[in-house]
Structure 1
Amino acid sequence: MPADSPADGLPRVGVGVDVHPFAPGRPMWVAGLHWPQESVGLSGHSDGDVAAHACCDAILTAAGLGDLGAQIGTSDPVWAGASGVALLTEMAGRVRSAGWRIGNVSVQVVGVRPRMAARRAEAEGVLSEACGAPVSVAAKTTDGLGFTGRGEGLAAFATALVVPA
């Protein structure tokens, strides 16, 4: 049986990473939320939501389905400008169709903006609804180090647990 098959009854863990530079003239979407007070957004084929995209990659890799690029890629015009929430909802459906149930996802956003603490619970609610499973959200800065510390963009790292349905 394939290593990514739910038939063996074992849970699987997946990891997702996403990185996008800031882009003037775009709205800021992070963790499924619009941040209207931000003067820049994130570049990308879709809305650039690093948190939602990292969650997508985490659930997909846990289920042995590759990653977001393997599922839809950046050449598909259907997903141009799509929200991270729409992508996460779609990818969660694909994971379930492959015979898995998503146990939970944890995502960490790394950067200096937006300041996420006040809206963390809201972000968890939006991402959990999209995923169909609990999603925890955390945020960190890098104390001025690297591209995130210099305010050039954001990164997100996610871990997901899936179990056979």
Structure 2
Amino acid sequence: MNFRVGFGFDVHQLVDGHPFFLGGVKLEADKGAFGHSDADVLLHALCDALLGAANLRDIGVHFKNTDDRWKGISSLILLEETMKLLTEKGYKVGNVDCTVCLEAPKVNPHIPAMQKAIAAKLGIDEDAVSIKATTNEKLGFIGREEGVTASAVALIYK
């Protein structure tokens, strides 16, 4: 079997009154991530991890922020398109491990819904989707609630 591992990272600015999508789930929040698509930082990091593992470059190559096709689009669709690219190269996903870093809102209550949404798009069991959340202990732009980051690791195989 051919195993590969990829790493992804993403960051988005938080903006007052903007919707906040995380892991394919809309969260109730005073601020939301801003970007060309729905700015789902967790799914963007995950797409990058998957693409990197398959040596398919990164999310910006496939879903340019200058292309109106992707404007405002759900990042679940970007994840679906990423999986099509992996499938074309003969890969399947083994498991993924993701971490999101932000001060608010609390993420833990939403993790089961995120796992379900992601597992469905990846074609794997929810148990193979790990999502963790942490704060930045009030330090830096994350601590000031100006932004959110996410990182992800993905194992793929043929």
Asked whether the two chains share a fold, i.e. TM above 0.5, the reply is yes
* Aligned match for 1:145, one of 114, 139, 142: 139
Aligned to 1:136: 130
Query: Shift in Å at residue 149 of structure 1?
Result: 1.4
Distance 2:37 2:86 in 1: 20
Which segment drifts farther, 51-60 or 129-138?
A: 129-138
| Root-mean-square deviation (Å) | 1.1
Structure 2 residue 63 is matched with structure 1 residue 69: no
Secondary structure of the corresponding residue to residue 121 of structure 2 = helix
Q: 1:161 and 2:155 equivalent?
A: yes
Q: Does the 8 Å CA contact 2:16/2:31 hold for their aligned counterparts?
A: yes
Task: For 1:129 and 1:67, locate their aligned partners in 2 and report how far apart those are by CA, in whole Å.
Answer: 22
1:93 to 84, 95, 106: 84
Match of 2:73 in 1: 82
TM-score (norm 2): 0.93
1:118 offset after TM fit, Å? 1.1
Q: Give the TM-score of the pair, scaled to structure 1.
A: 0.90
Q: Which residue in 1 is equivalent to 2:47?
A: 56
Q: Which residue of 1 aligns with 2:33?
A: 42
Return the offset for 1:76. Answer: 1.2
Residue number in structure 2 paired with 1:121: 112
**Off by >4 Å, runs of 4+ in structure 1:** none
1:24: Cα distance to partner? 2.5
The CA distance in 1 between the partners of 2:150 and 2:123, in whole Å, is: 20
Q: Size of the alignment, in residue pairs?
A: 155
